Amino acid sequence: MTTSQKPASAQDAEHHRTKMQKRKAVQDKEVASKIVEKGLLIVNTGAGKGKSTAAFGLALRMLGYGRRVVVIQFIKGAWHTGERKALERFEDLVEWHALGEGFTWETQDKARDIAACQRAWRVAQQTLANPDVGLVILDELNIALRYDYLPIEQVLADISARPANQHVAVTGRNAKEAMLEAADLVTEMTLVKHHFKAGVKAQEGIEF
């Protein structure tokens, strides 16, 4: 306790307890009213850092319950990332498909980029049809859709047709409006400050 803090009086303590009891009653009623259980379409978008990182956090949570996870990476090449090394230790529960060939400014070949995305989506279609998979991470899919490398109507139709309890996490900035409308949960990462602007390079354990 700092010198500026005063010990709570018995009246203050009782007021706080009553307030928290009322809040708990409201929260308990709200939680009890939620009875639907379904596979979610989760979209992480926005200019801020952490979209893929959040999806891999979901993967870890899913693995904790012994459910299978499949990661399909669009655009990104076969990087040696910390998350891939970590998750592949669960080799009986994780499949990892890095099917991109690098960012578009690296390949500089639109036809090649489209072909790579189409190959990746064929793998996604097989995965989305598999009821044994608990979570499908479609990493950087929003980028592929932004450049029209894949038809969003087909993508959303395939996602919609998946098994009822299968969750899908889509990442990448500039998510299309149709993807946002179809999603059950949308999180937009807001860029407030980034160390890259101060000349700090990508580092192991942070960026990859």
| Per-residue pLDDT at 32 | 83
The band of 99, judged by pLDDT with boundaries at 50, 70 and 90, is confident
Query: What domains lie within the chain, and their CATH numbers?
Result: 40-192 (3.40.50.300)
The band of 144, judged by pLDDT with boundaries at 50, 70 and 90, is very high
Q: How far apart are CA 33 and CA 188, in angstroms?
A: 27
Q: Please check the confidence at residue 200 and state whether its pLDDT lies above 70.
A: yes
Q: Please check the confidence at residue 105 and state whether its pLDDT lies above 50.
A: no
The band of 12, judged by pLDDT with boundaries at 50, 70 and 90, is confident
129 backbone φψ class: left, alpha, beta (φ>0; ψ -120 to 50): alpha
| Per-residue pLDDT at 206 | 86
Q: What is the pLDDT of residues 36-74, one digit of tens each?
A: 899 999 999 999 999 999 999 999 999 999 999 999 999
Average pLDDT across the chain, whole number: 90
Q: Please check the confidence at residue 13 and state whether its pLDDT lies above 50.
A: yes
| Per-residue pLDDT at 106 | 53
| Per-residue pLDDT at 80 | 77
| Per-residue pLDDT at 9 | 85
User: Please, what's the b/e burial string for 32-44 (b: 16 or more CB within 10 A of its CB; e: otherwise)?
Assistant: eeeeeeebebbbb
Partners of 73 in the β-ladder: 98, 139
